[in-house]
Structure 1
Amino acid sequence: MHQVNDLRRIDLNLLVILEALLSEQHVTRAAERLHLSQPAVSHALARLRDLLGDPLLVRAGAGLIATPRALELIAPLAEALAQVQALLAPNAFDPGTAKRTFRLAMSDYGAAIVLPGLIRALRRDAPGIDLQISHGSREGMLDAVLNGDIDLAAGVFPELPNELRSTPLFEERYACLVDRESLGADGVLDLPTYLARPHVLLEMRGSGPPEIERALTVLRERRRIAVSLPHWSVAPEIISGTDLILTVASRGLRDIDERTLVVVPPPFHIPSFTFVLAWHMRRGGDQALNWLNGRIGEGIVRKT
């Protein structure tokens, strides 16, 4: 009977507010995210503290930090909300009749790999499904998923927050793009030449140290970055007719102009990486999102 009475004290809305508070660690931001007033969220926090017997968020300087008990709640809370969402969801998702907009974040490399096949599949099998695509750094995309601004993020995420889950799409390796005439008669790019020549870097601010730099650090070597770009589309044209080298994921080099450009292996070991889809674990019961996740994976498999 005591357990039943405790359950009666729990308002599902409190759990939703708790999830936002633990994610934002800021009352005002949590209120904005939930479209509630700040006093309402502050009142809910007081009720949660009483219910759980823990301060949950304590002041540290100008902000708030989660208590150890609050940190323990993050993962099970997200799972519980996902199960409730699945319980209340319609019995079946019908892609042929569904009207839905999905928000996806990816780089232009990811867009080139994912979107052509996905959009053809949607127009054929789910014409009422619309997509909104955004571009950002790795950290920016993950933050958008955490905040609920994005449904899925496609990219390379070596480390994911505890609240996020991922589906691997494919393993990728690095390759070098060079001007064909600049490479030499033997068609080989050796390490001294690689280090001596200038390079093009594809990186968005906030994306962290590039994998190539980490691999060179192991060799105690550095390269000179002559051009830094936040996007892929113009990079091959920059390489053509120059001594520049572009080291990028190999799938992005499939449609180059082979009359003037050539793809060669890097002259040193750069670890391969996994390209994944990332989503918030609270969305695990979203049948429509699970369907989209599966269609993206199927399209990648067919493309490879």
Structure 2
Amino acid sequence: MLRMNWQRLDLNLLKVLKALLDEQSVTRAAQRLHISPSAVSHALARLRRAFNDPLFVRVGSRMVATAGAEAMTRPLEQLIASLESHLGAELQSTELFDPAASRRVLRLVSPGALELTLIPALATAFRREAAGWSLAIEGFERRSYEGDLASGRIYFVLAIGGHTPVNEVIAARPLWTDELMVLAGPRSSIYDGPDVVPIETVLELPNIYPLPWPTTQNYLDVELGRGDRHRKLMLSLPGYAAVGAAIEASDLVACMPDRTATALRRMHPSLRARHINPPLRSTLSLLWALGGQRDPALKWAGSLIAQVAGQLRSD
């Protein structure tokens, strides 16, 4: 009887083993799994090491399963049937889930810049699709949220940066990539200038800094600090609500993601956005605990968040 430590086995290898048992051919198993024959051969080598058994031997032009591999045929069939039954029931429950008839408090974490872009769009979408849901949003901190997600204290994190590890517990989905822009009003020296401004020029301008995290953790200032360069931060604010009016009434400028700059320009049409050279970009990702996806309500909510984010353009 084959013995091994199941906790250390990559369970994806069992799909390859089942295909090889059924097909008795590396080529046909690869076609069935929609992967390359070399990938199947690599997986078979790992299976052989894991079980300390050849599993298949070549007899003429055929691959013949060893006694140990044959003994696994029935348990594998039972395992796969059980998984298919469970996943089928989960899919059915998801299909039967009616967000309009449900009530939920959805706890998520979001950076402050999204208060002008994604958060209003999410509020609108949830009111339309699930009026009984409440959104409880916490400010994003540059730290790991692995424990918060795994425990269920937080359901989703809208994250910039890789502070929360993606592993067997936490999953991530990129939503968009932002370019950092500098926003200026009519009194700024770059207002009537070219569309692209060198970073050296930005450093000489009086800057507004919307919090929530300090400059030692802001990705722009961290990058500048590596070269011992720093911005002239003349005004720090707790959020983005007053940024547009402050820029409009003074020579101050503010660096921010392009979607946030677009939202502020809609509220303050006189403002102009300039690209920074060299460009600096950041990716916004949606993080969640894999275990939570067994809840059809959370699975639906994650899909809605991704759908709404995909509809928000940067221009």
Q: Specify the TM-score bucket, using the shorter chain as the normaliser.
A: 0.5 to 0.7
* Greater relative contact order (CA < 8 Å, ≥ 6 in sequence): 1
Provide Cα deviations, 1:8-35, integer angstroms capped at 9, x if missing partner. Answer: xxxxxxxxxxxxxxxxxxxxxxxxxxxx
What SS does structure 2 have at the residue aligned with 1:266? Answer: strand
Q: What pairs with 1:1-304 in structure 2 (closer than 5 Å)?
A: 91-92=93-94, 93-139=97-143, 144-161=148-165, 162=167, 163-184=169-190, 186-188=192-194, 189-205=197-213, 209-217=217-225, 219-254=227-262, 255-256=264-265, 257-259=268-270, 261-270=271-280, 272-304=281-313
Secondary structure of 1:253's aligned partner = helix
How far off is 1:298 after superposition?
1.1
Q: For residues 216 and 305 of structure 2, what CA distance do their matches in structure 1 show?
A: 26
Whole-Å separation in 2 of the counterparts to 1:103 and 1:181: 41
Counterpart residue identity of residue 236, structure 1:
G
CA gap of 1:87–1:137, structure 2 versus 1, over 3 A, is farther
Letter in 1 for 2:161: F
Is the 2:184–2:190 contact (alpha carbons within 8 Å) kept by the matching residues of 1? no
Residue 56 of structure 2: aligned partner: none
- Measure the CA separation in 2 of the matches of 1:230 and 1:263: 22
Unmatched tracts of structure 2, length 5 or more: 4-85
Aligned in 2, Cα 1:192/1:208: closer, same or farther, shift over 3 Å? Answer: closer
Q: Does the Cα contact within 8 Å between 1:142 and 1:153 map onto a contact in 2?
A: no
The root-mean-square deviation of aligned C-alpha atoms, in Å, is: 3.1
Conserved? CA contact 2:108–2:136, under 8 Å:
yes
Identity across the alignment (%):
21
Give the TM-score normalised by the residue count of structure 1.
0.62
Residue in 1 aligned with 2:68? none
Return the alpha-carbon distance in structure 2 between the equivalents of residues 148 and 130 of structure 1.
16
Specify whether residues 169 and 138 from structure 1 end up closer, same or farther in structure 2 by C-alpha distance, changes over 3 A only: same
Q: Indicate how the Cα distance of structure 1 residues 127 and 191 shifts in structure 2: closer, same or farther if over 3 A, else same.
A: closer
Displacement of 1:294 in angstroms is 0.6
Instruction: Name the SS for the 2:260 alignment partner.
Output: helix
Q: Kindly indicate whether the alpha-carbon contact (under 8 Å) linking 1:118 and 1:299 is maintained by their aligned counterparts in 2.
A: yes
Number of aligned residue pairs: 221
CA contact (8 A) 1:201 1:229 kept: yes
1:174 and 1:181 mapped to 2: Cα distance? 21
> CA, structure 1 residues 241+283, in 2 after alignment: closer, same or farther (shift >3 Å)?
same
* One-letter amino acid matched to 2:259: R
Conserved? CA contact 1:167–1:276, under 8 Å: yes
Q: Whole-Å Cα distance in 1 between the matches of residues 309 and 188 of structure 2?
A: 34
SS in 1 for 2:117: helix
* Partner-residue secondary structure (3-state), 1:165: strand
Shift of residue 152, structure 1, vs aligned partner: 1.0
- State the TM-score, normalizing by the size of structure 2: 0.60
Largest Rg, 1 or 2: 2
